[in-house]
Structure 1
């Protein structure tokens, strides 16, 4: 048995020590006490499968076994071959010019050569001109590997030739490479049109090789359930004249892309569905993928019209319309959710802007910038308690935490109560800490009002400029000439605490105060969110694009704020930011006191 394995098993590198292991088992004497031959066969099967981790290896006791040699297909009369092929091939041209081709047996090279013209005229010619194809291998349970290059070649271009598989045979110790073919009878389907391959747990052998190759060439989407996990070639070999036989895989496939194979483990589908639903799922996939170019074009149009960073637009459009789509790199797209995910990843990777986002939504999304609700008198107290935390610390240090930027109309509506409950407690402190570590953003309309409290009345201060891409207008944002209550002024120290979730309008406030050298920022870099993003429906689909449509220009440099967020003056963990601020304030106070 060891000699048969050494000469025939397709993974000879795994057999190191096998002969010695069998000799040791014999020497131990345990198996010599097994008197029942079938029990012995079971024990030996468990031993070789365990040692080599290959479930295809098995030992059997069959004293009356007679090998059956199947007829070679090519030796059959032509009429019989034609009948066989008619029984194993079904085809149809479905709605929307979708071809359906079902093959239940993959014929080999010699049979193809014998029947080439008949196969072309009666089968291939009828589906070659379809705009997409459903290639059904769910019931393909027999076939020859020599036919695989023919099938794969029809779904490839003539140039360049592709190395699609390598077959190693142990008994002859030979390796054969399989390549696509330079010439074929009739027209190729090519590598551009959509191909959906259906598989099931019954799909085995050569059909698995076809599905595996097309999947890893990124030429087809595989739909169904994991295939059977067959073998290139398995032989049942006699162990001398003992009546014992060992079944051994004598050849193996090595895919040049993955370095692995479909054998034993099968082909895993790209989209897992019950095989009975395979055709319906394939049709819906083709519809989604057919809409790809139009969808990508519409996304490009939206970016061209609304994206605020004009200098990044050419690269984005080039990436979307050329390198990704035309090179077939959207093969992973199997539904609108995965399309949205792929588009988002590509846009963000190319632009470096994580705010660009494509999403799938069955219900029309609500705009964030709806008209805000003006609270009633009863609600004002709850709002102030929920949004603001105020404390005057030792050393007359003011602490103000607020977790959301409200709209200017709401702020003005609750202004008197806000002054009384919050601002009046802080305005006379010597130093102010503004905690924005938990503020993820909100409305930007109140930023000028908030900033105004920290500057003098005259002259008005230029805070930043908003460039609106959709209207191509630039608006200077200034401090206000008048505010309710007393100003904090421009002289007292202010510290702003940030974290990695500080976003949108909250970080715009922090960046403005930093740009104008009015505050020291302590904590983590902020999220880099958009001050304003528009939500745009992509055609009539259920896809929407969230596009930053405003660029914020610094009042100091005139350049657009980057998308990387606000870099703090003093970078520390958000949890430590308050303690660091208090230490800095304490040291400044000590220095001031000692100077006196």
Structure 2
């Protein structure tokens, strides 16, 4: 039904035409017939002919006197109906078809001149090859020229250390030549399915695969390959660039390609002077399930075509520095990451991916940082691992906290804390940052007087951590102690520090300022997806020891402690969690997925639920 409706868009355009013309319904019917027999997406034409015939029979298709206007309107209609800008209708009374010579039928001498005029080979400094091909020849032509291509083109670049493949001026070519080029830049085994081409007029499908054997030596898949493109790059050259990019075999530098077609025909509509240009074949990449047709190939590094060659030298120099950066990232993980066995695994995976050429698409420090971050997080399952680019050394986030003055204490309390007494003698305490233990001690009298004393004698307590993204973990033992009795001391959790390889059991403290809340009254903690770091440790500890009911959203899964390390002497830095928290109950490491609430609820609209008779209220 949707396809039928889209075809009617064309009909509606025809309904709106001027009444003073000699429009011929047969012209439109013939155009529909051509599309049905030749258009490479026949599934999009369902109901088209019937819709056109219905519109003609209704008598509502009016006449157009100007034939060029008719051609323009038909073009707009068919493009809009089928969402394909390649479909065009033209009025050309003096059109003379241009017969493109079939290359394999040309004499060998003429073919040789053509190839030599469309190919340029050079060896640049650092043993970098340069290969420019302006026309990709088909398999028949290649077979006819044989050793000429091998000796003068492929063998000349086969022993270079890296290759610049210039397709900026490649506007024509034969798709049958694509497998040879892809094979030159891959290994004999395994064979790679590189394209599937459907031809509508013959209703046939052809698969393109790499070749198990070929004349001459292959370039292989390990050495760097950089392809230059422009907005003029079209057809078979686009197929080459698209395939090598998505096989992660090449870096594409330049402009987005033109977005051409595998095969387009200009077909005369009946015996008129109207012609319709139709894409009669389509390409679908088995690698992506999509195509370069219409949309083109998007480069990894987008620069003006005329500047692409200069940019290549920057990328090549950058790639020569990749090895120490990849190795350095793995070394930092192995030395500092909180879970050693995962660090070793991830480090090895990074090296393997690099050896397999999976870092070829990076073109600068920013793209390398993004690529490394994605790989670190995917292979470790830890979203806290992060690599970033910074051209100045970042400041350490773990500076010694400043002890506030007496005047500043009041502002801090007003900014970070909120208390309220709810119906049923239920206390509400919201605080939005975990302060350092020295700050807590220094501000203790004021905190007890202006915050804690207002809620300590309630029958139940709501602790709102929805806006608390973390802070310092040093005060967690003291804060937790308020919710347990003096004796016995309670094992809260254990911290493993990778930098010192020490295990530290964290216990409640025997003395606190002011009155304890105790171990018997109900405590509810509200969480959100931004609750993080030390706030999570506090929440998870009370949950793990069955001291609180957690209500809200799963927390962010932040780090108790992370540090920033420079990767070798570069402008890249890695943020690496270097501590893990082990449960006092199970002895297992807490997951980086965050704290899972007992009751899942949207953070901004949480209803507290409990069997306790004291819990019959609602929290905004």
Report TM bin, short chain. 0.7 to 0.9
Q: Of 231, 252, 266, which residue of structure 2 is paired with 1:201?
A: 231
Q: Of 231, 251, 257, which residue of structure 2 is paired with 1:221?
A: 251
Deviations 1:506-556 (A, max 9, x none): 221222233344444444433322211122222223322222211222333
Deviations 1:359-385 (A, max 9, x none): 333332222211111222221221122
Contact 1:497 1:578 (8 Å CA) reproduced: no
Matching residue of 1:269: 299
Matching residue of 1:405: 434
Is 2:188 the partner of 1:158?
yes
Contact 2:224 2:360 (8 Å CA) reproduced: no
Output the CA distance in 2 between the equivalents of 1:252 and 1:573.
48
Matching residue of 2:141: 111
Output the CA distance in 2 between the equivalents of 1:587 and 1:245.
77
Superposition CA RMSD, Å? 3.7
391-400 or 556-565, larger mean C-alpha shift: 391-400
Instruction: Give the gaps of 5 or more residues in structure 1.
Output: 589-596
Q: Of 133, 150, 153, which residue of structure 2 is paired with 1:123?
A: 153
Alignment of 1:71-150 (within 5 A): 71-74=101-104, 81-150=111-180
Which TM-score applies when normalising by structure 2? 0.82
Output the CA distance in 2 between the equivalents of 1:80 and 1:394.
96
Q: Of 179, 192, 195, which residue of structure 1 is paired with 2:222?
A: 192
Relative distance call for 1:187 and 1:543 in structure 2 (3 A) is same
Output the CA distance in 2 between the equivalents of 1:370 and 1:431.
37
Output the CA distance in 2 between the equivalents of 1:582 and 1:382.
39
Q: Secondary structure at the match of 1:585?
A: coil
Matching residue of 1:592: none
Output the CA distance in 2 between the equivalents of 1:566 and 1:147.
57
Q: Of 371, 376, 379, which residue of structure 2 is paired with 1:342?
A: 371
Contact 1:308 1:468 (8 Å CA) reproduced: yes
Relative distance call for 1:577 and 1:179 in structure 2 (3 A) is closer
Relative distance call for 1:311 and 1:160 in structure 2 (3 A) is closer
Relative distance call for 1:127 and 1:435 in structure 2 (3 A) is same
Relative distance call for 1:251 and 1:554 in structure 2 (3 A) is closer
450-459 or 503-512, larger mean C-alpha shift: 450-459
79-88 or 533-542, larger mean C-alpha shift: 79-88
Output the CA distance in 2 between the equivalents of 1:31 and 1:573.
57
Shift of 1:299: 2.4
Relative distance call for 1:549 and 1:42 in structure 2 (3 A) is closer
Output the CA distance in 2 between the equivalents of 1:42 and 1:197.
38
187-196 or 113-122, larger mean C-alpha shift: 113-122
Which TM-score applies when normalising by structure 1? 0.85
Deviations 1:282-322 (A, max 9, x none): 44444555545543332222222222223434543454333
Matching residue of 1:390: 419
The count of aligned residue pairs is: 587
Matching residue of 1:452: 481
Q: Of 574, 577, 589, which residue of structure 2 is paired with 1:560?
A: 589
Is 2:458 the partner of 1:440?
no
Matching residue of 1:593: none
Output the CA distance in 2 between the equivalents of 1:486 and 1:29.
91
Matching residue of 2:21: none
Alignment of 1:510-589 (within 5 A): 510-575=539-604, 577=606, 580=609, 584-585=613-614
Instruction: Give the gaps of 5 or more residues in structure 2.
Output: 1-29
Output the CA distance in 2 between the equivalents of 1:561 and 1:10.
55
Shift of 1:171: 4.9
Relative distance call for 1:145 and 1:381 in structure 2 (3 A) is same
Contact 2:459 2:614 (8 Å CA) reproduced: no
Alignment of 1:147-546 (within 5 A): 147-237=177-267, 245-322=275-352, 324-330=353-359, 333-394=362-423, 396-546=425-575
Shift of 1:114: 3.9
Contact 1:26 1:32 (8 Å CA) reproduced: no
Output the CA distance in 1 between the equivalents of 2:68 and 2:604.
70
Q: Secondary structure at the match of 2:539?
A: helix
Output the CA distance in 2 between the equivalents of 1:476 and 1:14.
67
Relative distance call for 1:28 and 1:528 in structure 2 (3 A) is closer
Q: Secondary structure at the match of 2:614?
A: helix
